[in-house]
């Protein structure tokens, strides 16, 4: 089997891996990126509905979850959203801003993949797809990586193999397993930015609501998001649900306000007073889509005229709208999750170089690290920032 020698071997030709390769090769390091996938950077291609939400106008450490919330600060400061926007501008890739400062390509995510590939080529970094890693061992000068094609010796090994979500396009537990093998702690990985599912009883109660989207406020402990919520045939999705799912602990309830600008009890009381002959269903249909209003009124047993309904019943109805105690049965899992939360414990890594403190020469970047961004371009920014920073040192 042929033996190759490089300075820097990067496993994973995704967002973080390519960014790291560009920077390492620019410094004159002989750099090779390998990936088991047939196509380059599939996650970039499918992201943002094909238009890649590549960063956000307002990136702050508060947009990231990690056991160590300070870890991300240094990298995000050294390679910022403006640096990536600058690179996009060099390639004249047009983009636009959507709600909450999210930046998307005007045309296609493929433009970003092409840009990164060109930058790799320009700097001299090589990319090899369709390459399976069969083993990694540490030797005196660095690492020996056995692939299904050859053996590669490298001084520095960078793991940029991403998280566990969407296995059908190449996600694997390679990085987590390697970290454990090298004696590094891994924070328990979980699907994040993922839709909630309901048990059969709740599904039956809410059947017929599929496709209804509402502005909502979702709260779990100290986390709160106001964005759209979407009823699906399995449970709930939409940006507000995806955001809260990253914080959620299975078995616990989240609070949902389906009418955040309306004090429903106050509206019901006023209606009872002013229009006692009106039906509760008519009142609630002015606040929520009719299909939903009818069912919630039924469930709160608020049939008949307002004058005949006790305040207790009205309170139950109001609570089901302003303070719905939702107990998800689970999530849709890695099949649909946008990211994985958890990953290589940041205490094991230098926040400056991303090198493992216990294993000199070994680096972890991107989603495989225990840093998870909110929805809105924050995960790609983490991939660009961590990849760029490691690229200055490998």
- For ligand FDA, the binding residues (CB under 6 A) are 11-17, 35-37, 41, 43, 46-48, 52-53, 133, 160-162, 165-166, 170, 172, 174, 338-339, 366-367, 377-380, 383
Work out how close the CB of 317 gets to ligand FDA at its nearest, in angstroms, rounded to a whole number.
37
Residue closer to ligand FDA, measured from CB, 235 or 377: 377
Q: Which residues contact 260 (CB under 8 A, 6 or more apart)?
A: 215, 216, 217, 226
Nearer to ligand FDA, 240 or 257 (CB): 240
Sign for the pseudo-dihedral over CA of 377, 244, 256, 208:
positive
The CB-of-380 to ligand FDA minimum distance in angstroms stands at 3
DSSP 3-state of 222: coil
Residue with tokens 């990985």: 189
Least distance (Å) from ligand FDA to the CB of residue 221? 24
Least distance to ligand FDA from the beta carbon of 58, Å? 14
Report how far Cα 150 is from the mean position of its chain's Cα atoms. 34
Q: What is d(CA 81, CA 77) in angstroms, rounded to the nearest whole number?
A: 9
Residue number with CB closer to ligand FDA (34 or 267): 34
Q: Give the residue with the Cβ less far from ligand FDA, 49 or 251.
A: 49
Rounded to whole angstroms, the Cα distance separating 126 from 149 reads: 16
Nearer to ligand FDA, 267 or 339 (CB): 339
> How wide is the angle at C-alpha 24 spanned by C-alphas 147 and 8, nearest 5°?
25
Q: Which is nearer to ligand FDA, 42 or 279 (CB)?
A: 42
> Is residue 380 within 8 Å of 55, Cβ to Cβ?
yes
DSSP tally for the chain: helices H, then strands E: 13, 21
In terms of Cβ atoms closer than 10 Å to its own Cβ (0-12, 13-18, 19+), residue 67 is middle
């Amino acid at each position: 089997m042929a033996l190759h020698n490089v300075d820097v071997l990067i496993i994973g030709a995704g967002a973080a891996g390519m960014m790291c390769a560009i920077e390492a090769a620019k410094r004159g390091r002989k750099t090779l990126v390998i990936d088991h996938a047939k196509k380059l950077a599939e996650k970039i291609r499918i992201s943002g509905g094909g238009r890649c939400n590549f960063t956000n106008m307002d990136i702050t450490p508060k947009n990231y979850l990690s056991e160590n919330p300070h870890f991300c600060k240094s990298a995000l400061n050294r390679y910022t959203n403006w640096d990536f926007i600058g690179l996009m501008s060099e390639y004249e890739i047009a983009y636009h801003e959507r709600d909450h400062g999210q930046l998307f390509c005007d045309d296609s995510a493929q433009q970003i993949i092409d840009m990164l590939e060109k930058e790799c080529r320009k700097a001299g970094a090589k990319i090899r797809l369709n390459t399976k890693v069969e083993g990694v061992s540490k030797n005196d000068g660095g690492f020996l990586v056995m692939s299904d094609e050859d053996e590669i010796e490298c001084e520095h090994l960078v793991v940029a193999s991403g998280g566990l979500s969407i296995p059908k396009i190449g996600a694997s537990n390679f990085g987590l397993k390697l970290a454990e093998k090298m004696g590094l702690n891994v924070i328990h990985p979980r699907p994040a930015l993922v839709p909630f599912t309901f048990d059969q009883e709740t599904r039956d109660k809410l059947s017929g609501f599929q496709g209804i989207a509402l502005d909502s406020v979702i709260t779990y402990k100290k986390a709160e998001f106001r964005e759209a919520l979407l009823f699906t045939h399995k449970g709930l999705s939409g940006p507000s649900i995806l955001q809260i799912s990253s914080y959620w602990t299975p078995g616990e309830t989240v609070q949902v306000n389906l009418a955040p600008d309306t004090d429903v009890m106050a509206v019901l009381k006023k209606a009872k007073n002013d229009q006692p002959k009106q039906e509760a269903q008519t009142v609630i249909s002015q606040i929520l889509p009719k299909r939903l209003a009818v069912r919630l009124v039924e469930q709160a047993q608020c049939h008949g005229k307002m004058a005949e309904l006790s305040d207790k019943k009205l309170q139950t109805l109001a609570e089901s709208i302003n303070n719905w105690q939702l107990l998800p049965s689970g999530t849709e899992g890695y099949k649909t999750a946008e990211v994985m939360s958890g990953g290589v414990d940041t205490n094991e890594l230098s926040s400056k170089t991303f090198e493992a403190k216990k294993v000199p020469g070994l680096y972890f970047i991107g989603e495989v690290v225990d840093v998870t961004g909110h929805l809105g371009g924050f995960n790609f920014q983490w991939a660009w920032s961590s990849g760029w920073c490691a690229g200055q040192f490998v």
